[in-house]
Chains A and B, each alone.
Chain A
Amino acid sequence: MRTDRLVRCLRWVSAVAVLMTARVASGQASQGLDSATAAAIAPIVEQARAEKLPVAPLYAKAREGQVQRVPAARIEAAVRTLADRMRAANEALAPDASEQELHAAADAIKSGVPAETLRAMRKAGGDGSLAVPIGVLTQLIARGVPVERASMEVVALLQKGAVARNFIALEESVRQDVLAGRRPDESLDLRLKGIIPNLPQSPGNVAGLTNASTPKRPR
């Protein structure tokens, strides 16, 4: 009789331990969110998790709104939109997008980059990470380069074997030019002329023998 009581007691202890562990685990993920925001985004997070999408960016988006004192309803809408963008990004970069690539692609979609561009980038970029090229594409668009033009040039650069440092150099050069008063699309034209001849798969180069180098800034 006493054994039964003890066993029942142990069952309760086990159940409480399981519940406490679950609370601690979910608390770690939603740390920093007030209860109203956490509850509002919970269904979106659960659905994303069921689709095997990373949920950390969703919590981060909610925290971003909270730190700027945005109302909970707007935070929920932003998180929902981000989940949709991540879903679209995941499909475009299939079969195996990294979390960094998804983050970059979701941002790019927000800037108006079509899913077809992301698919073309994945095809052209092989197994290399697209986080930097996609980020540079987004930033070129943010600077004022038209979406179609920027998309076309970035895909072309990937096809010619451009790597992260080429993209970063391009973005930095365009930034300097725009600060100096040049139009963004004009600057892109100019800077591509400096980068493309040095890429491994450019017509003037023997593949694999030429290092892609940072373009020289004009004096």
Chain B
Amino acid sequence: MHDINEHGDELIGRIVSELRTLPPVPADATARVLARVDAARESERPGRFSRRLIISLPAAIGYALAATLAGFMIRGAVPRRPEPTVAQVPNPPVAESLGGGTKIVPASANRRALQEAPVKVQFVLDAPRAKSVMVVGDFNAWDGSRTPLERDSTTGVWSALVDVHPGRHVYAFLVDGKTWTLDPRAPRTKDLDYGTQQSVLMVGLP
């Protein structure tokens, strides 16, 4: 033990003396350092843009942060469309829009939210001669561009899977972007606000 300590002290002493010794300085080092200092002074002369920028940089960052914060506050005040819930439907029901939802994807642990989590519903329309079919309803804010139906090339049947919350919903198909078409498979109702006929969809839990 004693030997090891003696050798250790000696080793540490040598390391310390090595570290205290300054490394050799190249002959042109002083000249290079002075040249850099001159260059730095030149760039910091009054009136130069870079210096102004450095001075005003905190202000710029402050304004940018304020703008971003204000933007977020305004965005937060305006309701956004609900994000569609990711759901897995291994075997979606075919050709049944009335109560056709099958799988529910819980959105949160809250009981009410769980009961109101969207269900995948399949919408189907036989329209072999149509060029485009969209479904519009209260579940997609009557925005047809959000829910175009896809055509099965062999059968000419159009269909789409849509996330719909449990409850009663009204909808219609828009054929070729303009023709209001009711679902022949679903019950109908007259909308009292606009006086038009609409299809009715009842969605429950599986």
Contacts and interface: CB of A to CB of B under 8 A. Distances in A.
Interface of A: 2-3, 6-7, 10-11, 13-14, 17-18, 21-22, 24-26, 28-29, 31-32, 49, 54-57, 59-61, 63-68, 70, 74, 78, 81-82, 98, 100, 103-104, 107, 110, 127-129, 131-132, 134-136, 138-139, 142-143, 164-165, 167-168, 171-172, 175
A14 B204 contact: no
A7 B200 contact: no
A14 B61 CA distance: 11
16 contacts: A2-B52, A6-B53, A10-B60, A10-B63, A18-B67, A24-B75, A56-B141, A63-B142, A67-B144, A74-B194, A100-B166, A103-B167, A132-B204, A139-B200, A142-B189, A164-B204
B79 interface: yes
A202 B52 CA distance: 81
B200 A10 contact: no
Contact of A29 (B59, B68, B78, B200): B78
Contact of B52 (A3, A61, A135): A3
A131 B166 contact: yes
The majority secondary structure among interface residues of chain B is mixed
A130 B84 CA distance: 22
Contact of B167 (A3, A74, A135): A135
Contacts of B193: 61, 64-65, 78, 81-82, 110
Interface stretch (B6-14, B15-23, B32-40, B107-115): B107-115
Contact of A3 (B56, B138, B144): B56
Contacts of B202: 135-136, 139, 168, 171-172
A28 B142 contact: no
5 closest pairs, A vs B, by CB?
A: A135-B168, A21-B71, A168-B204, A131-B167, A129-B115
Interface of B: 47, 52-53, 55-56, 59-60, 63-64, 66-68, 70-71, 74-75, 77-81, 98-99, 111-113, 115-116, 136, 138, 141-145, 165-169, 174, 180, 187, 189, 192-194, 196, 200, 202-205
A217 to B, nearest CB: 14
A65 B194 CA distance: 7
Contacts of B143: 31-32, 63
B75 to A, nearest CB: 5
Contact of B204 (A65, A82, A138, A167): A167
A107 B168 contact: yes
Contacts of B187: 139, 143, 175
Given A128-B115, A135-B168, 11 more contacts: A18-B74, A22-B74, A54-B79, A59-B141, A63-B141, A104-B168, A135-B202, A136-B202, A164-B166, A164-B204, A175-B187
Given A3-B56, A14-B63, A175-B187, A28 B204 contact: no
A132 B170 CA distance: 14
A25 B168 contact: no
Most buried by A among B112, B136, B203: B112
B194 A70 contact: yes
A56 B194 contact: no
B144 A29 contact: no
Nearest to B60: A10
Contacts of B77: 25, 49
A140 to B, nearest CB: 10
A24 B71 CA distance: 10
Given A10-B63, A164-B205, A98 B167 contact: no
A25 B115 contact: no
A56 B75 contact: no
